[in-house]
Structure 1
Amino acid sequence: MDKKLTLSLNESIIEVAKEYAKSNSISLSKLIESYLASLTKKKETETEITPLVKSLSGVIKLNQDFDFKDAYTDYLIEKYK
């Protein structure tokens, strides 16, 4: 059941929001409704890990200070020499 809601917003924000809604073929009401829905959506519980991923976890032992970004950067430098 839809209900009316009165909001007080900055006029320039309203104009920009109207342009955005129009360019995306959606009403301003639906735009605000979807934004509020995304803000209030309950966060999903922990993602279930498949048996395959569970079997692979712990296969490689790395130091605590291992930097994945540095290792990947080094890999890319070597690859594109």
Structure 2
Amino acid sequence: MDTKLTLKLNQEVIEKAKKYASEKKLSLSRIVEFYLQSLTTDSKKDDFEISPFVKSISTGTSIPADVDYKKEYSDYLMEKYK
């Protein structure tokens, strides 16, 4: 059941939040609900949620499971210091 909640917020924060919500194609109410839910979710669960910061820096690029990180880094350094 949805219930109405009235909040007093800084006008600038509201405008930025509305723009963000519009870009994400979500309602501002839904974003506030998700945020409050994330704050009140029991953190002792086995599964975990990725923080908003980590989500914001995600590129969406998948990395193959068989990547040789040492070789990739070595190749990078060789190229860098040619």
TM over 0.5: yes
Structure 2 counterpart of 1:26, one-letter code:
L
Distance 1:21 1:46, change over 3 A: closer
2:10 alignment partner in structure 1: 10
Point out where structure 1 has 5 or more consecutive residues left out of the alignment.
48-75
Q: % of aligned pairs identical?
A: 45
Instruction: State the 1:45 CA deviation.
Output: 4.0
Q: Name 1:36's counterpart in structure 2.
A: 36
Q: Alpha-carbon deviation of 1:44?
A: 2.7
Which consecutive residues of structure 2, in runs of 5 or more, have no partner in the other structure? 48-69
Structure-2-length-normalised TM-score? 0.55
State the superposition RMSD in angstroms.
2.4
Q: 3-state DSSP class of the match of 1:29?
A: helix
Aligned letter for 1:32?
Answer: V
Match in the other structure for 1:20: 20
Q: How does 1:56-75 map to 2 (within 5 A)?
A: none
Q: Distance in 1 between matches of 2:22 and 2:45?
A: 35
| Structure ID, larger Rg | 1
Distance in 2 separating the partners of 1:8 and 1:32: 13
Q: How many residues align?
A: 53
The letter of the residue matching 1:25 is: K
Q: Under a length normalisation based on structure 1, what TM-score does the superposition of the two structures give? A: 0.56
